[in-house]
């Protein structure tokens, strides 16, 4: 990477990474499982709107891997690997949709969700071929969508509100510092 990142962006990425590890633990404490509530997706998708495409991609890739290593959630193989590709695609697609294509938040979210699910299905297909993983890529994606409907609704409701609030906070912070 030749691009230099602003300190604020790196700190924000670190906070989102920590959130991507802590939020799923909180959800699990209250009996809401990851495949249903999709708590790790929230900080990554937020990162897609607030970070550069490169950092959003990195956040999406490393969040499930570090969480898997530190907490055992998700299980490292195959789930953390699948999620690394899925969430990396979420972060990258959300960032590009918002920054390069100037899509608003909801279309960017939907585009990211579709692209991430496709990446997950392709990853499963590769794992089946290379490692003999006993999964059907199409059934995996279908199951992820159906079981993840509550999480998808949470994302579509809360992420736009959080993005507007965070952007408003940053705008007010910049005004106050001048």
pLDDT at 173: 73
How confident is the model at residue 177, as a pLDDT? 59
Contacts of 88 (CB under 8 A, 6+ apart): 57, 58, 60, 61, 119
Nearest to 126 by CA among 86, 91, 69, 94: 86
Asked if 18 and 33 count as a contact pair (C-beta separation under 8 A), the reply is: no
pLDDT computed for residue 176 by the predictor: 65
pLDDT of res. 92: 98
pLDDT of the residue at 59: 98
Q: What is the pLDDT of residue 178?
A: 57
Buried-exposed string 30-48: b where 16+ CB fall within 10 A, e elsewhere:
eebebeebbbbbbbbbbbb
Angle at 50 between CA 69 and CA 161, to 5 degrees: 100
Residue 1 confidence (pLDDT): 45
* Contact indicator for 16, 59 with CB cutoff of 8 Å: yes
**What pLDDT is stored for residue 2 in this prediction?**
47
Q: Which residues of the chain have pLDDT under 70?
A: 1-3, 174-178
Are the C-beta atoms of residues 156 and 109 closer than 8 Å to each other? yes
DSSP state of 100: T
């Amino acid at each position: 990477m030749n691009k230099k990142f602003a300190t604020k962006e790196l700190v924000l990425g670190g906070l989102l990474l920590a959130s991507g590890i802590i939020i799923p633990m909180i959800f699990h404490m209250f009996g809401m499982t990851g495949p249903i509530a999709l708590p790790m997706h929230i900080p990554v998708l937020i990162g897609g709107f607030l970070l550069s495409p490169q950092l959003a991609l990195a956040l999406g890739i490393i969040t499930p891997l570090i969480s898997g290593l530190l907490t055992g959630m998700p299980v490292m193989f195959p789930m953390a690997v699948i999620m690394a590709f899925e969430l990396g695609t979420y972060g990258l697609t959300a960032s590009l949709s918002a920054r390069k294509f100037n899509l608003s938040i909801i279309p960017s979210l939907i585009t990211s969700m579709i692209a991430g699910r496709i990446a997950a299905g392709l990853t499963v297909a590769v794992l089946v071929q290379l490692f003999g993983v006993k999964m059907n890529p199409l059934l995996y994606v279908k199951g992820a969508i159906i079981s993840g409907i509550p999480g998808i609704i949470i994302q579509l409701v809360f992420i736009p509100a959080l993005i507007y609030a965070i952007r408003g906070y940053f705008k007010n912070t910049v005004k106050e510092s001048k």
